[in-house]
Amino acid sequence: MALQMKRSWNELASDDEADDPSDEQETEDWSASSAVVLSPPSSKDTSQPYYGASSKCVPQAHSNQNEHKRTIVHVDLDCFYAQVEMIRNPELRTKPLGIQQKNIVVTCNYVAREYGVTKLMYIKDAKEKCPNLVLVSGEDLTHYREYSQRVSDLLQSEFSTLVEKLGFDENFVDVSSLVEDRLKAYQGKPKMEVKGHIFGSENEGSSSQCSCGCHQRLAVGSQIAGEMRERLKEVIGLTGCAGIAWNKLLAKLVGERHKPNDQTTLFPGREQQLMIGLEKARRIPGIGHSMNKKLSTLGITTVLELQKASSAELEAVFGSQITAMMKNSSFGIDKSPVNKTGPPQVLKAC
């Protein structure tokens, strides 16, 4: 039986973008989070998505074809605050730019990054790396809110009514209906090519085809993601990355693979490779600072260790529901829907 859990992706994001997940980033724990998750299986039941710590088997991601019916695009804007300031003042485009809040560079453009400046760096350290760094105050969030809303409105008015904002710079878009419409129109035509990168194809060849038709759906989804990014650049002037998968968690994580201004598609059969590649369990959305601390006391720091950990041991610390969410997420399982964020508004000319 599935458990109903409160898991709001909106509570997992900060106001600014998440370019490179790190321990410095604060992510809310699942105790403040909404999704349908699987009941925790017995630690001895190896037919379920995860195993007990005593199992000698290396866990394999189990993917139900019924879970592949959705096509989700995660759009993540590049260095969002900095992009907004460069649109407002084009002279800043060629200069190393940092957005300052108190004594921290909350984000910076890619010119500044070439000098070694990173987000969440102290102003003093950033100035040592790049003496000519231009700093713009980011204390007033008004302009960032306006641009963030315009992005969501464009996605909702042109691509799908199911758009969920995640912070200021990220959006989940469920394009399942649009994909189905296009597949009907494509009948009898050559298969749609994937736009952008395919996760895992660089070093392991193409993944095995699933019989449910998800490969074609995701390929069409990648074309739609490319159109989204083109429209955001054309209408608003913002570039961004995109991840395409059949659930929100995987779409978000795979979209981080190629930055900036690029996109990556994940096909079924690659979930385990993606999740294990994260290495740190802390990089799984939903595992915040305090939860990660508790995992560390249990000797769990990597995704693989979390997958193989004893459910009973985890439940003693986190309870059965949080344990189930943590375990399932470690395998890339996420049944949470894309929850529509507000009605679309009329777009203003940029």
Write out the catalytic residue numbers. Answer: 170
Residues in the chain: 350
Tokens at residue 187, please? 């009948």
Task: Please name which of 181, 176, 245 lies closest in space to residue 215, comparing C-alpha atoms.
Answer: 245
Single-letter code of the amino acid located at 238: L
Q: Are 73 and 242 in contact (CB under 8 A)?
A: yes
Give buried/exposed letters for 208-227 (b at 16+ CB in 10 A, else e): eebebebbbbbbbbbbbbbe
* Per-residue CA distances from 314 to 35, 321, 327 (Å): 20, 10, 10
In this structure, the number of other CB atoms found within 10 A of the CB of residue 294 comes to 14
Q: 262 burial class (0-12, 13-18, 19+ CB within 10 angstroms)?
A: middle
Taking the alpha carbons of 8, 12, 15, 19 in that order, is the dihedral positive or negative? Answer: negative
Contacts of 285 (CB under 8 A, 6+ apart): 9, 12, 27, 249, 252, 253, 329
Q: Are strands 134-137 and 97-101 parallel, antiparallel or unpaired?
A: parallel
Q: CA-based Rg of the chain, rounded to a whole angstrom?
A: 21
The CA-based angle 62-74-16, given to 5 degrees, is 125
Query: Tokens 């084009």 sit at which residue?
Result: 90
Contacts of 262 (CB under 8 A, 6+ apart): 196, 197, 241
Provide the angle, in degrees to the nearest 10, between the axes of the packed helices 142-158 and 214-231.
130
DSSP summary character for residue 213: S
